[in-house]
């Protein structure tokens, strides 16, 4: 009664699949395939032995691993399923299907080789003209660890948990075996509590070895520190820092830490960027206030060829006049032509002590002379006399502030967020990377480098 084509889902099908014909020419998987084919992987190959069952080819595994992080599919089990069903995965793997354990073992096995591969790709970007060495923007992003905040404990909470577990073991040992509470169930529960007891003892030893009395440690990932995120959530996290070139947003250096951004990290990132890109360094380096202190300001002015733009933590507040003491903020105390220190009311201040440090800098303590009779005494200080400390390195901070206030400096620093923040947003929003899949600082660093 009709002329439909035959339709039978139970009928067997034979089809020839050529992986190279599955994707369009401009597909991202083809770009990743081309990039990995250009890499020197001899260091990675050297970690394999000639004996035994032949392993999957490392070049194939690397292509698949890079691609799944590109598309935001970072679970090894999901990748395993994709290798069976997805054309883009089949193209990269040549229709080979390593299971999820093999994939994860490969991922964690080559932690030491990955930085060299990262540097090769950065250098390739340079050869393609994707890096112009004009502006390098630096920033950090906090990513939640593979750990629950409730598992973070300080000394007091660890001790309390330890006592509860000990008491629980004691009660279980004394509890009589019944029909609904068999010997097997009893033994299994005791074994579980003893594992907790052992882990809590280890945490106690670690916490007792720390200088900080209020330090916390996470039972799931002991290396993950509790950090405050931009949305004010406090979570066990790792901080991932990126150095990004301004031309096309190529990330030229990365660093993973277990603490918020600090000045000690800045120059290491700049030097790593210079080394991995094989260039002479960037003309300008743009970093936020978390990377700023007197030592860094002195070094970048005295030792570095790059032009640094780094505001101190009080710069924006001072510029807006929103300091806690307003007109009587420390920044309003100035030296006169006679080299003496004067308060905002024009009263001379007395030098009461000078502290000298091993690195050569000094801190001079000044005290107000006419504070008792000043009508603005209460607005200036809560004590009898106002005291201020003047660091000999403040000249570097003032010169940096002058650079940032200039038209050239303001225009340069304004670019920082537009260069580095989109990269962080791409990681978290487009790739969906808001929490780690692996545990421990080394594996957290591995994940970030793959991203």
Per-residue pLDDT of the chain (451 residues; tens, 9 = 90+): 678 888 888 988 887 888 888 899 999 999 999 999 999 999 999 988 887 788 999 999 999 999 999 999 888 888 899 999 899 999 999 999 999 999 999 999 999 999 999 999 999 999 999 999 999 999 999 999 998 888 877 788 888 888 888 888 888 888 888 888 888 888 888 898 888 888 888 877 777 777 777 777 888 888 898 899 988 888 999 999 999 999 999 999 999 999 999 999 999 999 999 999 887 789 999 999 999 999 999 999 999 999 999 999 888 877 776 676 778 888 888 888 888 899 988 888 999 999 999 888 999 999 998 888 898 888 898 888 999 999 999 999 999 999 999 999 999 999 999 999 999 999 999 999 999 999 999 999 999 999 9
Q: How far apart (Å, rounded) are the C-alpha atoms in residues 216 and 152?
A: 6
Please indicate, yes or no, if residue 130 is contained in any of the structural domains.
Answer: no
How many other β-carbons are positioned within 10 Å of the β-carbon of residue 378? 8
The CA radius of gyration of the chain, in Å to the nearest whole number, is 30
Helix (H, G, I), strand (E, B) or coil at 213: coil
- The answer to whether 79 and 100 are in contact (CB under 8 A) is yes
Please indicate, yes or no, if residue 121 is contained in any of the structural domains.
Answer: no
**Do residues 445 and 303 share a domain?**
yes
**pLDDT tens digits, 297-320:** 999 999 999 999 999 988 887 777
**Do residues 258 and 140 share a domain?**
yes
Tokens of 110: 């080559």
Please indicate, yes or no, if residue 221 is contained in any of the structural domains.
Answer: no
**Do residues 182 and 160 share a domain?**
yes
**Do residues 354 and 236 share a domain?**
no
Please indicate, yes or no, if residue 118 is contained in any of the structural domains.
Answer: no
- Domain-terminating residue out of 195, 215, 235: 215
What beta strand segments (E) does 195-257 contain? 217-218, 225-228, 234-245, 251-257
State which residues form the domain around 185: 155-215
Q: How far apart (Å, rounded) are the C-alpha atoms in residues 345 and 374?
A: 9
**Do residues 304 and 255 share a domain?**
yes
**pLDDT tens digits, 421-440:** 999 999 999 999 999 999 99
Please indicate, yes or no, if residue 309 is contained in any of the structural domains.
Answer: yes
Q: Which are the contacts of 253, defined by CB distance < 8 A and separation ≥ 6?
A: 122, 242, 243, 269, 270, 272, 273, 276
**Do residues 270 and 326 share a domain?**
no
**Do residues 405 and 287 share a domain?**
yes
Please indicate, yes or no, if residue 124 is contained in any of the structural domains.
Answer: no
Please indicate, yes or no, if residue 6 is contained in any of the structural domains.
Answer: no
Tokens of 385: 């006399």
pLDDT of res. 209? 74
pLDDT of res. 1? 65
Our count of domains for the chain comes to 4
**Do residues 29 and 104 share a domain?**
yes
**Do residues 141 and 230 share a domain?**
yes
- Domain-terminating residue out of 342, 360, 392: 392
**Do residues 236 and 305 share a domain?**
yes
Q: Can you give the pTM of this predicted structure?
A: 0.83
Please indicate, yes or no, if residue 119 is contained in any of the structural domains.
Answer: no
């Amino acid at each position: 009664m009709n002329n439909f084509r035959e339709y039978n889902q139970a009928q067997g099908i034979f089809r020839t699949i050529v992986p190279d014909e599955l994707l369009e020419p401009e597909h991202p998987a083809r770009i990743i395939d081309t990039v990995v084919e250009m890499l020197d992987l001899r260091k990675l190959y050297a970690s394999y032995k000639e004996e035994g069952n032949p392993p999957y080819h490392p070049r194939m595994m690397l292509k698949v691993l890079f691609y799944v992080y590109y598309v935001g599919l970072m679970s090894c089990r999901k990748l395993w399923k994709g290798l069976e069903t997805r054309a883009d995965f089949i193209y990269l793997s040549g229709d080979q299907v390593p299971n999820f354990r093999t994939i994860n073992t490969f991922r964690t096995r080559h932690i030491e080789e990955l930085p060299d591969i990262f540097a090769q790709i950065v250098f390739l970007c340079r050869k393609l003209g994707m890096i112009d060495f004009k502006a390098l923007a630096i920033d950090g992003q906090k990513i939640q660890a593979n750990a629950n905040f409730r598992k973070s404990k300080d000394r007091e909470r660890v001790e309390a948990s330890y006592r509860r577990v000990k008491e629980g073991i004691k009660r279980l040992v004394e509890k009589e075996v019944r029909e609904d509470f068999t010997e097997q169930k009893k033994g299994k529960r005791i074994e579980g509590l003893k594992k907790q007891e052992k882990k809590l003892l280890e945490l106690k030893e670690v916490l007792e070895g720390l200088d900080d009395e209020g330090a916390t440690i996470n039972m799931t990932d002991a290396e993950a520190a509790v950090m405050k995120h931009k949305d004010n959530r406090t979570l066990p996290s790792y901080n991932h820092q990126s150095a990004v070139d301004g031309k096309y947003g190529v990330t030229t250096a990365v660093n993973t830490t277990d603490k918020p951004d600090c000045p000690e990290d800045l120059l290491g990132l700049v030097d790593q960027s210079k080394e991995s890109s094989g260039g002479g360094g960037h003309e300008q380096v743009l970093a936020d206030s978390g990377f700023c202190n007197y030592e860094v300001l002195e070094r970048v002015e005295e030792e570095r060829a790059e032009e640094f733009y780094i505001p101190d933590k009080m710069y924006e507040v001072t510029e807006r006049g929103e300091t806690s003491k307003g007109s009587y903020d420390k920044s309003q105390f100035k030296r006169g032509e006679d080299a003496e220190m004067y308060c905002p009311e024009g009263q001379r201040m007395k030098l009461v002590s000078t502290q000298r440090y091993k690195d050569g800098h000094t801190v001079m303590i000044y005290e107000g002379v006419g504070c008792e009779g000043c009508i603005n005494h209460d607005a200036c200080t809560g004590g009898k006399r106002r005291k201020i400390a003047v660091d000999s390195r403040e000249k570097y901070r003032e010169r940096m502030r002058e650079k940032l206030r200039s038209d050239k400096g303001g225009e340069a620093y304004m670019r920082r967020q537009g260069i580095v923040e989109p990269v962080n947003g791409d990681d978290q929003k487009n790739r969906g990377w808001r929490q780690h899949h692996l545990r421990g600082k080394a594996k957290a660093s591995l994940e970030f480098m793959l991203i």
